[in-house]
Structure 1
């Protein structure tokens, strides 16, 4: 048998990048920067430099500073070389100041801080605050009173405050559930900016959420939108997720398309049948367009939402959309892949994942379940798509 030895540098760049993606970005940078020009070029790629977690963490959630030799090498040699490419830093309190003073970060968008005392944060960030929080487990929602008492009153030099805060709580009845008006009233002293508040109660899950944010909204994602969505225009948002225990009607999707004109990614979770679906089949509906949509996920929805996006009298999809859908529901909506009014939207998909149950072989030596093969007429119904 012949023996061959392949060195790392013998591999093409594409394979090296695939291998390095399995590692943390700081491991890639620390390991290969300075080896040679080719590996430097790979290490300095945006994939490995845009988001850096310059800390150590354990499986049980504890966060520690990097060891001094590693930290010194990053601060003296690596960070000054890639400072223009860094958009997000994850830092812990002991090494934070050392890292922030190591170089300039002209394109830095945000910082995640760990183990930091409020007093130190106030000393470092006093004039401009862009706050994005997800809060779970509190007995009350985060509201305007919270922000004034715990942040604004401690930052007298603060002159610009942008925030996007989502609170999740457990409420076992709607009697104790604060209204949207109650939350909005806590912001009556915020006279220099528009504050949007949206509260929802999910009785099935016995959970409630409150979303408060300063407008205009500049985050690139908007999560867990319900029928309580207040509307508005969100030109920065690219990724949207919808969730509710009540049905989404056609007019709701029209509002979503108008509010998020540059949306690329849409995921929906809703198992409730549309109330007006049968009634409006005989009516002329406004055809909804999503001109920039690239990814659509309908796996966690009932049949009405598969029809909502596949039927051409309801939706006009753009070209080259990747979609994740339920096979049985797609089969019903397309009438066994023969329906003409769903054919045009299906022809615009470039990738289709059809979720279906795995088959377990009865008397086979192969223990592992397998997906059943799709008939050719199914593949023909999606002529431009890779099907999985």
Structure 2
């Protein structure tokens, strides 16, 4: 049998793709770029060049693959200019960082990995005119950094991070590791972080902190859009007082909040004000006792307001209000609990809270709301699949006298609307006065609730209210912006956010809301009522 010699060019494209996928893209580009047009086309496929890695893990550190000027120059002068538009992610070692980033423009680059960064290389990002240009600032959305372990100090880490936040002003994700890649960078603030240590776009931050106070600095509002914070932190035996509140729905209560609380074994005072999504069981008295109270032997004060939300996927058994109340039989007096079933929304809600309450918000209030006085609450959301009548809103105003933000989710029309109108005609019904209300969200509300707040015979609004509403609903309730009965409250709107199917609005809109700044978001399909 004769032996045949098969060259690389003799293999079909499919086989070459399989082979190249097994190799490092750095080696592929350096070895085959420019050999012939066929190979150029194959190796310039986005599968090879959308994410370019110019570093390699070796022993306990990352090393630069540009081992000499000749290799680096070939990439910067000959290869990168040909593929720059297809590059979305670059991994670079600090010594080669400025050469690669300055070689060409990368119009589609959105992610950077910067390895073995020290304070000097971080400062370079700020001082290099091209690297700190507006285009570069806006493009990079994800940043992964390893910091050089040599001569590293707490101040060095803070300075490096501050440089990064100054240059990359549009980040949504930031991760910091030591150059050994074993641990996330340890962040420790001896003093307050600098004023520039902030971001209005960052959504996810992965770090390690030394003390719990460092975590609180991160959460003090300087990262206003942050929704995911992954923090490595040891036990907190010296922590005596802790309070956690969030008006947004929490999905990872068991994975994040409970493990954090279990580190606080010597806690004396605890406050929890949360809305939690659960899969199988509500958070009730048994849960609090087993998973929190019994693990904190020194706890002498526990204030809480926890709203559990569960999807109704199957017609299985759900506990009643009496069942939940039974779990608090050994708790001190003053625990309120009740259960709501919203079949239209396929949701089941369980509210538990200590009373009198210090919670700043009260979510998902239904017609089963037991009442009470909540002087600390500033934000309320109402949600039900049964109509809210006028008397319900009277109760809400009395229970929350300092209410500032109100959201209504209800698609059912009011049953006693005609009786309100009759009483108004006979001047027997006083309007509800909201003294501090400044935001009303009616995006998911029936027209009757738009009337509820715009008719001055039912509601007396303060000045400077922000209103979020569907344009068509507003148009119907105001009779195409001609209705006198809704005109008085409309003049008190200072901000109007409209959800509309198109951008063509009635010419009388601005005149009807003379003091409002008007904004709109176009949604081609909005369900009609």
2:464–2:494: 8 Å Cα contact kept in structure 1?
yes
Give the CA RMSD over aligned residues.
4.3
CA 1:8/1:253 → structure 2, altered by over 3 Å: closer, same or farther? farther
Inter-partner Cα distance in structure 2 for 1:293 and 1:163: 25
- The aligned residue for residue 510 of structure 2 is 379
**1:178 paired residue among 319, 322, 333:** 319
**2:402 paired residue among 262, 265, 277:** 262
CA deviation string 1:99-136 (max 9, x = no partner): x79xx999985499966885982554432222344443
3-state SS of paired residue (2:233):
helix
**2:430 paired residue among 282, 286, 293:** 286
Inter-partner Cα distance in structure 1 for 2:239 and 2:297: 26
User: Structure 1: which 5+ residue stretches go unaligned?
Assistant: 1-6, 44-52, 58-63, 359-370
1:88–1:109: 8 Å Cα contact kept in structure 2?
no
**1:128 paired residue among 253, 257, 269:** 269
CA deviation string 1:324-360 (max 9, x = no partner): 11222222221221111111100011111222212xx
1:196 aligns with 2:196: no
1:88–1:110: 8 Å Cα contact kept in structure 2?
no
Inter-partner Cα distance in structure 2 for 1:375 and 1:178: 50
CA 1:275/1:54 → structure 2, altered by over 3 Å: closer, same or farther? same
3-state SS of paired residue (2:344):
coil
CA 1:287/1:174 → structure 2, altered by over 3 Å: closer, same or farther? farther
1:245–1:270: 8 Å Cα contact kept in structure 2?
yes
- The aligned residue for residue 4 of structure 1 is none
- The aligned residue for residue 303 of structure 1 is 447
3-state SS of paired residue (1:147):
helix
3-state SS of paired residue (2:328):
coil
3-state SS of paired residue (2:515):
coil
Q: Kindly state the Cα deviation for residue 140 of structure 1 after the two structures are TM-superposed.
A: 2.8
Larger-gyration structure (1/2)? 2
User: Structure 2: which 5+ residue stretches go unaligned?
Assistant: 1-124, 146-153, 167-172, 196-212, 221-227, 246-252, 520-529
- The aligned residue for residue 49 of structure 2 is none
3-state SS of paired residue (2:288):
helix
Inter-partner Cα distance in structure 2 for 1:354 and 1:123: 46
Q: Kindly state the Cα deviation for residue 155 of structure 1 after the two structures are TM-superposed.
A: 2.7
Inter-partner Cα distance in structure 2 for 1:97 and 1:319: 49
3-state SS of paired residue (1:223):
strand
Greater shift after overlay, 175-184 or 196-205?
Answer: 175-184
CA deviation string 1:44-90 (max 9, x = no partner): xxxxxxxxx99779xxxxxx9x9789734x31556577969838488
Inter-partner Cα distance in structure 2 for 1:113 and 1:81: 34
- The aligned residue for residue 75 of structure 1 is 188
CA 1:123/1:301 → structure 2, altered by over 3 Å: closer, same or farther? closer
**1:157 paired residue among 298, 312, 317:** 298
- The aligned residue for residue 96 of structure 1 is 233
1:328 aligns with 2:472: yes
Q: Kindly state the Cα deviation for residue 316 of structure 1 after the two structures are TM-superposed.
A: 0.7
How many correspondences in the alignment?
A: 332
Q: Kindly state the Cα deviation for residue 34 of structure 1 after the two structures are TM-superposed.
A: 4.8
Inter-partner Cα distance in structure 2 for 1:120 and 1:176: 30
1:171–1:177: 8 Å Cα contact kept in structure 2?
no
Higher relative contact order (CA 8 A, sep 6+): 1
Inter-partner Cα distance in structure 2 for 1:352 and 1:342: 15
**2:460 paired residue among 316, 319, 323:** 316
**1:187 paired residue among 320, 328, 331:** 328
1:143-154 aligned within 5 A: 143-154=284-295
1:219–1:236: 8 Å Cα contact kept in structure 2?
yes
CA 1:173/1:118 → structure 2, altered by over 3 Å: closer, same or farther? closer
CA 1:106/1:382 → structure 2, altered by over 3 Å: closer, same or farther? farther
- The aligned residue for residue 345 of structure 2 is 205
Q: Kindly state the Cα deviation for residue 235 of structure 1 after the two structures are TM-superposed.
A: 1.6
Greater shift after overlay, 226-235 or 175-184?
Answer: 175-184
3-state SS of paired residue (1:281):
helix
**2:361 paired residue among 221, 234, 251:** 221
- The aligned residue for residue 42 of structure 2 is none
Q: TM-score, normalised by structure 1?
A: 0.71
Q: Kindly state the Cα deviation for residue 141 of structure 1 after the two structures are TM-superposed.
A: 2.0
1:347 aligns with 2:491: yes
1:288–1:316: 8 Å Cα contact kept in structure 2?
yes
Inter-partner Cα distance in structure 2 for 1:116 and 1:382: 45
- The aligned residue for residue 138 of structure 1 is 279
